[in-house]
Structure formats: C-alpha cells, structure tokens
Structure 1
C-alpha cells in the first residue's frame, strides 16, 4: 500500500463527510419525519378497517392541534415580553415612598436617566395608592398621563411631558439630565398635594 499525501488525505476526508449518513438533519425536518413515521406506523397497525382509519385520523388531528397550540404560545411569548418591557413598573412591587427614595439615591449618584424613571414610577404609584388612577399592571407612561390628566386636568400637560421624558430615557436612548429630574421631582411634589376635580 502506497502512502497518500496530505492533499489527497484531505480530499478523501471531505468526500467521506459528504456522504448522506453524515448529513445533519434540521429539527423541523426531523419532527416532520418522525410525525410521518408515527402516522404511517399507526395506519399500518390499524389495518384497513374503518374504525382503525378513523382512530388514526383522530390521533393525527389531536397531534396537529397540540402542535398548533405550541406554535401559538411561542408566538405570543415575545408579545408578552414586549408589553412588559413597555410598562412603567418592573417586576418588583414597591410603594411610592420606596420609588422616591430610590430616585433620590440614583440622583445622588448622578444616574439621571434611572432617577427620572424612578421618579415617574413614584408618581404612578402615588396616584394608584390615592385611587386617582386604576392599578393597572403593564401600564405605559402615556396611558398613565392620559388617565391621570383626566383626574387632574390642571396637570395634564405636565404629565404628558413627564411621560415623554420617561420614554426618552427608557426607549429613546437619551441621557437623563439634572434638569429633567428636577422637573419630574417638582411635578411629583405638587401632585402629592393635588386633589381631583369632582366628577
């Protein structure tokens, strides 16, 4: 047997790896192949009787329904995450006082964007605690401004501006500023003393 050179060995190895038994099957093709094989085995096992064929069809429909439910759930998950990401509050429930204290700590550290976010969360929680707005999980800053502006019309414009400021630092990539935080703090303090307009 004559020795083979490096290039020839690489060529033979590449040819070997191109053989069908080495090809990796993607997961969709794998699931479809297993499903077809299962249904084929089921039909073979039931024979040609009418009851067997009906049973095979029912089992196939159940499998398709389950696959559809899984697909639907997987498509809805990103929408739920996106809705949660657009909300004012995070996952932990805090009181208005806790949000204010956190906002003050962040401002002391000159983390203005986060301080602005926490001050608006303090405003939202305070309005909920005082029953001026409904406690609504997943509420956006704009929804808060609209509902609070109805209860406190004198503050409607400032609430809308506060919502824009929150959105700018949260989603718009803008940096918070001491001025933006001071404006949000002033609004928070005045809202604490505000009384709703009688219906």
Structure 2
C-alpha cells in the first residue's frame, strides 16, 4: 500500500470514530433549559420590581408617543395641553380649597345652642390667641349676626345661613353690604368648602364686627305730605 493510500485510510477510520451523534430535539431542548436555568446565568438579571418598572415605563412611552401623534403639534402640542390641564386643576383647587372627605351640608350659621354676641366674641378671641383661625373666624361671624339680632336689625330665626344674614343685614346697613357678603362667603368657604383661614381673614371679620357696632342703620320710613 502506498503512503497516500495509508494516509487516506487513517483519515477515514478517524472520521468514522468521530462522526456526530444525532440527539432527538426535545431532550436537547430540555437539556439546554436545565443548563440555562442554573443560577450562574442569572446573577445579573434585574429583579421582579425592576422588570415591572421597565414594563411600566415602556407602556408610558408608548402611550405618550401615541398621544403626541394624535395631538396637533406633536410632542410640543401634547406638553402644552398637559400644562393647560394642570393650570386649570390648580385654579380650581385654589378657588374651592382642599376637598373634604364628607362634605358638610350648607347648614345653619349657629351649630350649638343660643349664645350672646359677647360669648361668641370671647370664644373667637380665645381661638385667635391659640392660632385656630378657622374657629376664630366662624365664632366672630356668629358674633356679628347675633349682635345684629340683639339690636333688632335682624329677626332671630333658627336655621339662618350666613348668606341669608348678610343679605338681610345689608338692606339696613348698605354701607357695609359688600363687607357682610364677603364675610359670609369666607365663613362658607371655611365651614363647608375646606378652605383654611389665616390671621388676616380673622382681622377683617373682627374689624367688620367693630364697625357694625358703631354703624347706624338706614331706617326705611315713608313720609307723606299733607293732603291738599
């Protein structure tokens, strides 16, 4: 046998010994899954929270892209719309105040038994000294109305609201009608609208109370001349 023939025979024998063995597809997949499930391959994988956050931000990005495509002006137009909505929400929040969990009904001005104007003033000053401005404004407004009732400028009537008292008192005290309406509106905003009063709010109601004590009512009288 020649050298070339011997070499060829050896190569054929080696190739026959190293020929690949076919492995069925399912066992091969299972073996690969077992291998890839080992902890060494997942040491740097993000945790469940990070994966959830990634999916959330992907969803937000897709939503933003869809909205910007449907909004005139694209992304800039969408940003302008969002800013406009935020401005409207802020304006409503400022005007209406913090929403209450259980909004109180527009009930009467006096929530307890009858007390004198002096007693309401004393309670208002005590609240003001402690920095409880909401309660101070409420008690001072009650003192205003009770004082007008004691002077017979208002008829004592259970269930009267602050707005009703201001409207009735404004007819006999027209010079203070605007201040009375403003004080009643402030009382309602604090009591039923969740607004927060401050020292200046109380000072205005207190000044109105003191001014009304000195104010002279406008008496509606009709005079008729002698008959001819």
Is the Cα contact below 8 Å between 1:133 and 1:151 reproduced in 2? no
Q: Does 1:153 align with 2:167?
A: no
Q: 1:92 aligns with which of 93, 113, 126?
A: 113
What is the total number of aligned residue pairs between the two structures? Answer: 117
Is 1:163 the counterpart of 2:184? The answer is yes
TM-score by length of 2: 0.50
Q: How does 1:132-147 map to 2 (within 5 A)?
A: 132-147=153-168
- Give the CA RMSD over aligned residues: 1.3
Runs of 4+ in 1 over 3 A off after TM superposition: none
Instruction: Indicate if the aligned counterparts of 1:169 and 1:175 stay in contact, CA closer than 8 A.
Output: yes
Q: Highest Rg: 1 or 2?
A: 2
User: What secondary structure does 2:154 align onto?
Assistant: coil
Conserved 8 A contact 1:169-1:176: yes
**Residue 205 of structure 2 corresponds to residue 184 of structure 1:** yes
Residue number in structure 2 paired with 1:101: 122
How many Å separate the matches in 2 of 1:97 and 1:111?
19
Q: Higher helix fraction: Structure 1 or Structure 2?
A: 1
Report 1:36-115 matches (<5 A). Answer: 82=105, 86-115=107-136
Segments of 5+ residues of structure 2 without an aligned counterpart are: 1-103, 221-228
| Corresponding residue SS for 1:102 | helix
Q: Aligned partners of 1:192, 1:103: CA distance in 2, in Å?
A: 16
Alignment TM-score, normalising by the size of structure 1:
0.57
